[in-house]
Structure 1
């Protein structure tokens, strides 16, 4: 640490090779090792990974942002009233705009909503592969991922689970073959990341369009989206007000156990109402189960992407959505929740 106090001795670790006035041409020999300033600047440790809930570097224990600093709830805000480094006005505007687009396309014409899902998958794959390349030097091939991912979503809508599995298999094969056209160096690492991306983004997104294909598909998708949003809202509201006990401090310091209880409670109530009044042949008690499962999977999905971002040393997966980050930052809790909601709806009311 540099001593910046008046009259303080220069830091031996980062000072230049100053000459000894008693022996011109010779550097000081009594103040410890001498380092070249330019070289030292290149070997300083990387700055700490930003806390995803505040956007600020994590400080030492007991300091703002540090491990000992109390945080807010599962929504990620601290109780100081700050907006976690986000542009709140932009975040609200973008959120409302996305909601309008999704609801409008969902209930006007199914194919338009299918196109929205395909676009989200392609952009999400681009964000994920770009961050892997920039931060880890992993070159997962984007072209076969994007083409195969789009085909997987369309196949899932047209031919249900069988179509999704076949398209996924061919996408994995395309990733393996495409990467063979390049150097064998890091082949295994690149294709492993590519296969992970296939299952993480397009395969999970396929369950959304499989819900859409049912006769009451728009309402099923609406309930799926509603439960995920309500779960996040409940986690934020309860966690911000009552959050004291950390849920997973090493992954996401802002999330609390109280926030998780809020997510579960809000989602179960929303699930009971949705199944009773929005889904054909649905029962309120089925909604309780659905809400509980959706809250759990949404939390796991949020923590999962937080783990990925921690490993990559980034705060957001992209910058496409002002106030929100990237597409993948909005899909984090939706993707793992989709197969859970799809399966429970099939068990409760059937698949068609």
Structure 2
């Protein structure tokens, strides 16, 4: 999920300049509208008045300038900019109608393919892997000049997902090794400069996208595979939704401000509580042989993995200095912006379900 999904108030941490309780040594104060901007505040030396302009060194206020003539005042009032939102008003940060419409459309395609034709769902996962690889390698090339071989990664990544469903974990491991070898050989056809950098980034991409996505195919391969995949999807979505709802309404304390300023500790607690409840219900009613207490543990693990996955992609995007990985999904960003929580959660759900109820 994106930084805005956890709903921290944009005005958190800022105080009213007219607050009488503010200490003079507290330094400059910023308005809530300024807090939403990413550029630094201009310095007084640049010819722009600072927040402290109009005060002497001993903090005594200078005389206020005389009022402009009536005609000048009328011109100033006509040219005023629209008022900024109230500091207490929170924004979702996304085009919610578009995001909801796209989400419902994707959900319908996924559920239909999952329960009608399992092989069609495998094709959906493989297609998502290919698009995700294209987005990530394109951003690496644009922002860092890293030349990751896309063709062997895309072909091998899609084959890994299919092999995981048809041949199990052993088939996926074989395709992983063959894809890595093909990538190394493919890159040899180009000049040797930055060879080590490019193939290292390629190996990271190989493990980050297709390898983790293969665990979704392993979930599907079980006898009750569609219900296991549905449990995995529901818990991940509930984690993101719980974090957004609680963080948007009650979020005050930042979770990891240097990585993702929009995420809050209150949002994390919302994710944990909602996912544990959903996990207990899913294990009791959707998974053969599951127990509600196992669902509590599963929900806790999903909340942790989904949050770490979200923070991990936020770290990548901050390093690349981008907001979204792509623009394919209106209101969401790119495919990778939707896979950030799902990818690291898939192996966690697969492993815990194998421990709790067996491989199926």
Stretches of structure 1 lacking an aligned partner (at least 5 in a row): 1-50, 68-77
Partner of 2:76: none
Query: Is residue 3–residue 263 contact of structure 2 (8 Å, CA) maintained in 1?
Result: no
| Structure 2 residue corresponding to 1:320, chosen from 325, 328, 339 | 328
CA distance in 2, matches of 1:81, 1:240: 7
Please show how residues 218-229 of structure 1 align to structure 2 within 5 Å: 218-229=226-237
CA distance in 1, matches of 2:229, 2:350: 9
Q: Of the two structures, which has the highest relative contact order with CA contacts closer than 8 Å and spacing of 6 or more? A: 2
Following TM superposition, by how much is the alpha carbon of 1:52 offset from its aligned partner in structure 2, in angstroms? 4.5
Q: Deviations for 1:241-287, whole angstroms, at most 9, x for unmatched residues?
A: 11111100001001011110100000000000000000000000000
Query: Is residue 79–residue 241 contact of structure 1 (8 Å, CA) maintained in 2?
Result: no
CA distance in 2, matches of 1:319, 1:301: 20
**SS of structure 2 residue aligned to 1:279:** coil
Give the total of aligned pairs: 288
Asked if 1:193 is matched to 2:201, the reply is yes
Query: Is residue 79–residue 240 contact of structure 1 (8 Å, CA) maintained in 2?
Result: no
**SS of structure 2 residue aligned to 1:53:** helix
| Structure 2 residue corresponding to 1:278, chosen from 282, 286, 291 | 286
Q: Deviations for 1:107-146, whole angstroms, at most 9, x for unmatched residues?
A: 0010000000000000000000000000000010000000
CA distance in 1, matches of 2:121, 2:160: 15
Q: Which runs of 4+ in 1 moved over 4 A?
A: none
Q: Deviations for 1:25-54, whole angstroms, at most 9, x for unmatched residues?
A: xxxxxxxxxxxxxxxxxxxxxxxxxx9539
Stretches of structure 2 lacking an aligned partner (at least 5 in a row): 15-27, 39-86
Distance 1:61 1:163, change over 3 A: farther
Query: Is residue 90–residue 248 contact of structure 2 (8 Å, CA) maintained in 1?
Result: no
Asked if 1:176 is matched to 2:184, the reply is yes
Query: Is residue 102–residue 113 contact of structure 1 (8 Å, CA) maintained in 2?
Result: yes
CA distance in 1, matches of 2:127, 2:29: 43
| Structure 2 residue corresponding to 1:81, chosen from 75, 78, 90 | 90
**CA RMSD after TM alignment:** 1.9
Q: Deviations for 1:284-336, whole angstroms, at most 9, x for unmatched residues?
A: 00000000000000000000000000000000000000010000000000000
Distance 1:218 1:246, change over 3 A: same
Partner of 1:137: 145
Partner of 1:258: 266
Please show how residues 79-158 of structure 1 align to structure 2 within 5 Å: 80-84=89-93, 86-158=94-166
Partner of 2:303: 295
* TM-score (normalizing by structure 2): 0.77
Following TM superposition, by how much is the alpha carbon of 1:89 offset from its aligned partner in structure 2, in angstroms? 1.1
Partner of 2:56: none
CA distance in 2, matches of 1:237, 1:183: 50
Partner of 1:65: 36
Partner of 2:345: 337
CA distance in 2, matches of 1:192, 1:223: 34
